[in-house]
Amino acid sequence: MIRPSEHRPTQAIINLEAMRHNIDWMRQKMNDQQKLFATVKANAYGHGAVPIAKAAISAGCEGLAVATVDEAIELRQSGLSQIPILVLGLTDPQGIAEILHYNITITVSGLDFFEAAYQQLADTKQTRLLDLYKLNFHLALDTGMGRIGLREVAEVEAFAAGIQAYPWAHWQGVFTHFATAGGGPADYIEAQWQRWLDLMEAVPATVDYRHYANSAMGLWHPKLPASDIVRMGISMYGLDPKDQLPSPAWGPDYAVNEADDLQPILELITEIVHVKKVPAGACISYGATYQAREDEWIATLPIGYGDGWLRHYKNLPILVDGHECPVVGVINMDQLMIRLPKHYPVGTIATLIGPDGSFNNHASYLAQQVDTIAYEIVTNLSPRIARVYLNED
Ligand SMILES: *Cc1c(COP(=O)(O)O)cnc(C)c1O
């Protein structure tokens, strides 16, 4: 067993071979003209931004997508100097010098950005940067997500006219985001698609990339004319956007998607660091809310809400040697306690996410128990959890 820390056994084991498989799976649904961007925002959904970005690029992804300029800079500083990096969220024009310097492609929602960015450069006597660098940007279009972007044809027309005043800005792409590709009324997709087509009429032919596909659109709606870029997020990590499970093994209550062969790339494990037999009546954890009913074997695991294993996850079973073990008492910041079916020694592995024996704590299964989505469970895994990467090439 690889132990990234000599001091604490809690670790996320991330299988890059499985990630390459998921990327190949998406690639099969795409044509040769489409580009695949790996979405690595929020620390690559908790998987570790830099190692995931590097592995995605060596698996053939043509670009990276992040949420913020700070995330983009972190990637540039890690040595990824050439690959296109698209920031999907909106950005403060104050940071224009760094955006240019690091060659980061930004998203704008209107013309205001350019005026304010120019002013910032003028105020700081840096307008000569505009002779050295070009600002690549994509325009967001709001076709029904209601988040960012222009909504009306007239607004896009006005943008197309107004952007002429900023020859240092290169209008490279337009994109939108579908609200219901991963669940919700199906006809909403049709309505958004129609909106997209309408808005496209106002986009000049010189704009190269027109893209709308996240995982769900890439996997399930390939009938629509191809998205020039597929912004692959959750499916790259092997999770289904709708939390469908990969087989019926979890029981009749769970939606299943056997058609898409997505392999979860992350397992979260730790080890028992303390074990004891307590007598009936002994209380466990803060608030003394749990009381042993009989003599019980109680083990302590070094993981808690400070690692992103939230108090709300109290009812999720933890797997030890093929047994489901309940958490007893409340989850602490750094530790939690479980009840074992029998004695297991210190050093025994406990699985929080991943398979063990006949059980499988699939992130999508766990998410449904605690009323959330797998995106949120993995993204919450804090930097304190050591990450171990298997099958780096
Ligand atoms: C996060 C995000 C994605 C990736 O979505 P997944 O569902 O994880 O594939 C794509 N596009 C935009 C605009 C996003 O914000």
65 Cα–ligand 1 center, Å: 9
Does the beta carbon of 218 sit less than 6 angstroms from any atom of ligand 1?
Answer: no
Query: For residue 326, how many other CB atoms are within 10 A of its CB?
Result: 14
Q: Distance (Å, rounded) from C-alpha 85 to C-alpha 76?
A: 9
Q: Which of 23, 26, 36, 39 to mutate to test the pocket of ligand 1 (most atoms within 8 A of CB)?
A: 39
Does the beta carbon of 229 sit less than 6 angstroms from any atom of ligand 1?
Answer: no
If you average pLDDT over residues 30-40, what whole number do you get?
Answer: 96
Report the pLDDT value the prediction gives residue 211, as an integer from 0 to 100.
Answer: 97
Residue nearest to atom 1 of ligand 1 (CA): 233
Q: In a 10 Å sphere around its CB, with 0-12 CB exposed, 13-18 middle and 19+ buried, how is residue 131 labelled?
A: exposed
Does the beta carbon of 233 sit less than 6 angstroms from any atom of ligand 1?
Answer: yes
If you average pLDDT over residues 336-345, what whole number do you get?
Answer: 98
Percent of the chain whose predicted confidence (pLDDT) is above 90? 94
199 Cα–ligand 1 center, Å: 21
Does the beta carbon of 214 sit less than 6 angstroms from any atom of ligand 1?
Answer: yes
Residue 20: pLDDT band (50, 70, 90) is: very high
CA nearest to 91, candidates 74, 113, 122, 65:
113
Residue 226: pLDDT band (50, 70, 90) is: confident
Report the pLDDT value the prediction gives residue 124, as an integer from 0 to 100.
Answer: 97
DSSP H or E stretch at residue 137 = strand 135-140
Report the pLDDT value the prediction gives residue 393, as an integer from 0 to 100.
Answer: 78
If you average pLDDT over residues 237-264, what whole number do you get?
Answer: 97
- pLDDT surpasses 80 at 224: no
Q: State both tokens at 99.
A: 């955006």
231 Cα–ligand 1 center, Å: 6
Ligand 1 atom with the smallest distance to the CA of 215 is 9
For residue 280, which phi and psi values (nearest 5 degrees)? Answer: -50, 135
Report the pLDDT value the prediction gives residue 222, as an integer from 0 to 100.
Answer: 66
| Pairing mode of beta strands 327-328, 336-340 | antiparallel
Ligand 1 atom with the smallest distance to the CA of 375 is 8
Express each pLDDT in 276-327 by its tens digit.
999 999 999 999 999 999 999 999 999 999 999 999 999 999 999 999 999 9
Does the beta carbon of 39 sit less than 6 angstroms from any atom of ligand 1?
Answer: yes
Q: State both tokens at 299.
A: 């083990």
Report the pLDDT value the prediction gives residue 313, as an integer from 0 to 100.
Answer: 98
CB 338 within 8 A of CB 298: yes
If you average pLDDT over residues 41-49, what whole number do you get?
Answer: 98
39 Cα–ligand 1 center, Å: 7
Q: Distance (Å, rounded) from C-alpha 84 to C-alpha 172?
A: 12
Q: Which of 227, 231, 239, 240 to mutate to test the pocket of ligand 1 (most atoms within 8 A of CB)?
A: 231
Residue nearest to atom 6 of ligand 1 (CA): 233
385 Cα–ligand 1 center, Å: 24
- pLDDT surpasses 80 at 3: no
139 Cα–ligand 1 center, Å: 16
Residue 73: pLDDT band (50, 70, 90) is: very high
Residue 1: pLDDT band (50, 70, 90) is: low
Please tell me whether residue 186 adopts helix, strand or coil conformation: coil
Spell 80-100 as b/e; 16+ CB within 10 A means b. beebbbbbbbbbebebbeebb
Does the beta carbon of 215 sit less than 6 angstroms from any atom of ligand 1?
Answer: yes
If you average pLDDT over residues 161-175, what whole number do you get?
Answer: 98
Ligand 1 atom with the smallest distance to the CA of 241 is 7
**Catalytic residue set:** 41, 286
Report the pLDDT value the prediction gives residue 2, as an integer from 0 to 100.
Answer: 63
Percent of the chain whose predicted confidence (pLDDT) is above 70? 99
Q: Tell me which of 224 and 280 has the higher pLDDT.
A: 280
Express each pLDDT in 266-284 by its tens digit.
999 999 999 999 999 999 9
| Pairing mode of beta strands 336-340, 296-301 | antiparallel
Residue nearest to atom 10 of ligand 1 (CA): 214
Query: For residue 108, how many other CB atoms are within 10 A of its CB?
Result: 24
- Which residues fall within 8 angstroms of residue 179, CB to CB, at 6 or more apart? 144, 145, 146, 188, 192
Largest CA distance in the chain: 78
CA nearest to 74, candidates 45, 43, 32:
43
Ligand 1 atom with the smallest distance to the CA of 175 is 13
Q: Distance (Å, rounded) from C-alpha 84 to C-alpha 36?
A: 11
CA nearest to 366, candidates 376, 378, 356, 374:
374
Report the pLDDT value the prediction gives residue 225, as an integer from 0 to 100.
Answer: 79
